[in-house]
Amino acid sequence: MIRIIGLCKTFDQGPRQPPLGEESPGKQVLADVCLAIDGPAVLMGPSGQGKTTLLRILMGLETPDAGRIEGLEGRRIAAMFQEDRLCPQLTAADNICLTGRGVTRAQAREELRALGFADADLKTPAGRLSGGQKRRAALLRALLCRGADLLLLDEPFTGMDDALVDRAAAAVVRLAAGRDTLLVTHDHAAARLLGWPVLTLDQN
Amino acid sequence: MISTTALPPAKMPRPEPNKRRRLLQTAGAVAFWVVVWQVAAATLGYGGLFLTSPLGTLEALARLLPTADFWHRIAFSALRILAGFLLAVVFGALLGAASARWKLVRILFNPVMQLIRAMPVASFVILALLWASSANLSVIVSFTHVLPVVYAGVAAGIADTDRQLIEMAKVYRLPLSRRLRYIWLPGIFPSFCESCAAAMGMCWKSGVSAEVIGLPDHSVGDALYRAKITLTTPDVFAWTLVIVLLSASLSAIATRLLRLARNCLCGEVRA
């Protein structure tokens, strides 16, 4: 179980100087956030509430101003970012194998086919895939990462039509089974498909 | 039904008509300037003394080509200039990478590289003649002229490498070998290749200039100088043409080899 206790994060507002005698206000994106991740969960909430920042802190890419996270030490993380972050010169399957720690190209291709990749798409470098295909490849990269015991998925269903969301959600449930997972989404229908507990981040 | 957008295949051949048109345009431009050269040589060349015609240049080249001395000089200069180039590529790449990694290295070496870039070839040659024999002059001069170009190319390539991919590699804890192969090298290669192609042209210019000043025996620079003092202008033009062709063809070969290396190194993951 991962416990997030009293997490705070404020981002600098940029070069604009505050009036004399006043402190730079900054933009507080997380204020005293407390969560527990035990098994899979969906994290929902209005835009700008710090969901992505929370994931980035869990990934070790941001440092919180205050608070602490327990149970993260030694965990192997696989993540799907807001951006696809695929190596553009590699095929989708090679991108999956790159981080997969032993996943075979055949397994990667099989899962990609299940998410609508045609044979020609499997030979195409990721840089030339469509936005939706890149998204699906990035999702499978996280899900197929062997040895990862914490999955952090940021808006994995963006750009997918309803039929594809069905298939992707089924793949998420199947491949994330038995691992702690935090999936951020705005899509209520997709969250229902997953059938996971829903955590809401609303700091208003 | 799920839409899988039909995309162009990875290795789609370029449309032939455009390529042919570009080739024709280039050939037309070259032909135009050869005609201008011919007319200028006929009207202002004083029988080839000041300006040799294209035909005169080719005749001089045809006279030089079968001689052993010609090939000896080409080998002598090419070996030294390319040795300087290769050394500079290795050191420039290492220094460029180190300067991108450690600020202290960047602070220390940036002024040195700027100084080398700004120094005229002649100053370098005179200094190099104090430190080394004239036979090895072109090694030193081509090395010093290529070094800052490759250094800047590698440093720029590292700066251009996709930060989001670097973050991804950090989260997935990719081993260093995979980060280098699939993230850093593809990021660095475009700017590195560009700098190598530019440096190849520069090393021939600077190397032959050094030879013209230092006059090492059996070098192309020495042949150019001899042709100048004996007023055999067609030979000057012929040697110049040889240098241009060597520089351009080696630059093209270097670019191809680097592309091949990139495709072999960064193209496919061993699953």
Statement: residue B134 has pLDDT above 70: yes
How far is it, in rounded angstroms, from Cα B208 to Cα B240?
Answer: 10
Nearest Cα residue in chain B from A57: B171
How far is it, in rounded angstroms, from Cα B203 to Cα B243?
Answer: 11
Q: What's the rounded mean pLDDT across residues B165-178?
A: 94
A95 and A191 both lie in a single domain: no
Q: Whole-number mean pLDDT of chain A?
A: 89
Asked whether residue B34 is assigned to any structural domain, the reply reads: no
CB contact under 8 A, B164 and A83: yes
Q: What is the pLDDT of residue B7?
A: 41
- Reported as a single tens digit per residue, the pLDDT across A113-136 is 999 999 999 999 999 999 999 999
Q: Among B1, B3, B4, B259, which would you mutate to test the A interface (most chain A Cβ atoms within 10 Å of its Cβ)?
A: B4
Domain CATH code at residue B205: 1.10.3720.10
Provide the CB-side half-sphere exposure for A27 (13 A, CA). Answer: 10
Asked whether residue B141 is assigned to any structural domain, the reply reads: yes
CA distances from B120 to B117, B220, B244 (A): 8, 20, 21
Q: What is the pLDDT of residue B142?
A: 92
CB contact under 8 A, A78 and B271: no
Asked whether residue A19 is assigned to any structural domain, the reply reads: no
Q: What is the pLDDT of residue B10?
A: 44
Which residue's structure tokens are 């490498």?
A: B161
Which residue's structure tokens are 């696809």?
A: A84
Q: What is the pLDDT of residue A18?
A: 58
Interface of A with B in 48-87 (CB under 8 A): 59-61, 76-79, 81, 83, 85, 87
A114 and A124 both lie in a single domain: yes
More confident residue, B194 or A202: B194
Chain B residues with beta carbon closer than 8 angstroms to that of A164: 2
The count of domains in chain B is: 1
How far is it, in rounded angstroms, from Cα B128 to Cα A82?
Answer: 56
More confident residue, B105 or B16: B105
CA distance A81 to chain B (A): 8
A134 and A116 both lie in a single domain: yes
CB contact under 8 A, A130 and B171: no
Asked whether residue B187 is assigned to any structural domain, the reply reads: yes
Q: What is the pLDDT of residue A159?
A: 83
CB atoms within 10 A of CB B16: 8
More confident residue, A154 or B49: A154
How far is it, in rounded angstroms, from Cα B152 to Cα B148?
Answer: 6
Q: What is the pLDDT of residue A17?
A: 59
User: What percentage of chain B has pLDDT greater than the value 90?
Assistant: 59
Can you read off the two tokens belonging to residue B126?
A: 């005179």
| DSSP, res A61 | S
How far is it, in rounded angstroms, from Cα B257 to Cα A121?
Answer: 28
Q: Among A87, A121, A130, A157, which would you mutate to test the B interface (most chain B Cβ atoms within 10 Å of its Cβ)?
A: A87
CB contact under 8 A, B267 and A164: no
How far is it, in rounded angstroms, from Cα A190 to Cα A93?
Answer: 25
Length, in residues, of chain B: 271
How far is it, in rounded angstroms, from Cα B248 to Cα A170?
Answer: 57
Q: What is the pLDDT of residue B269?
A: 65
Q: Among B172, B176, B179, B189, which would you mutate to test the A interface (most chain A Cβ atoms within 10 Å of its Cβ)?
A: B172
> Final residue of a domain: which of A147, A172, A188?
A147
Asked whether residue A16 is assigned to any structural domain, the reply reads: no
Rounded to 10 degrees, the C-alpha dihedral B1/B6/B10/B15 comes to 180
CB contact under 8 A, B164 and A85: yes
CB contact under 8 A, B167 and A164: no
Instruction: Give residue A103's domain range.
Output: 88-147
Q: What is the pLDDT of residue B80?
A: 94
Does residue A117 sit at the B interface (CB-CB below 8 Å)? yes
Q: What's the rounded mean pLDDT across residues A84-111?
A: 93
Does residue A42 sit at the B interface (CB-CB below 8 Å)? no
How far is it, in rounded angstroms, from Cα A46 to Cα B160?
Answer: 34
Statement: residue B64 has pLDDT above 90: yes
Reported confidence tier of residue A49, pLDDT bands at 50, 70, 90:
confident
Reported confidence tier of residue A16, pLDDT bands at 50, 70, 90:
low
Domain CATH code at residue A38: 3.40.50.300
Buried b (16+ CB within 10 A) or exposed e, A111-132: bbeebbbbeebbebbbebbbeb
Which residue's structure tokens are 């035909």?
A: B55
CB contact under 8 A, B268 and A61: no
Chain A residues with beta carbon closer than 8 angstroms to that of B5: 130, 132-133
CB contact under 8 A, A164 and B2: yes
Chain B residues with beta carbon closer than 8 angstroms to that of A60: 170-171
Instruction: Give residue B239's domain range.
Output: 53-266
Reported confidence tier of residue B264, pLDDT bands at 50, 70, 90:
confident
- Reported as a single tens digit per residue, the pLDDT across B30-45 is 999 999 999 988 888 6
CB contact under 8 A, A98 and B10: no
CB contact under 8 A, B183 and A76: no
How far is it, in rounded angstroms, from Cα A160 to Cα A17?
Answer: 42
A65 and A156 both lie in a single domain: yes
A35 and A117 both lie in a single domain: no
Q: What is the pLDDT of residue A19?
A: 58
CB contact under 8 A, B271 and A94: yes
CA distance B238 to chain A (A): 44
Reported confidence tier of residue B3, pLDDT bands at 50, 70, 90:
very low
A37 and A137 both lie in a single domain: no
- Reported as a single tens digit per residue, the pLDDT across A151-182 is 999 999 988 888 999 999 999 999 999 899 99
More confident residue, A18 or A75: A75
Q: Whole-number mean pLDDT of chain B?
A: 87
- Reported as a single tens digit per residue, the pLDDT across A51-62 is 899 999 999 999
A153 and A140 both lie in a single domain: no
- Reported as a single tens digit per residue, the pLDDT across B72-97 is 999 999 999 999 999 999 999 999 99
The count of domains in chain A is: 2
Length, in residues, of chain A: 204
Reported confidence tier of residue B16, pLDDT bands at 50, 70, 90:
low
CB atoms within 10 A of CB A50: 22
Which residue's structure tokens are 């089974």?
A: A177
A113 and A92 both lie in a single domain: yes
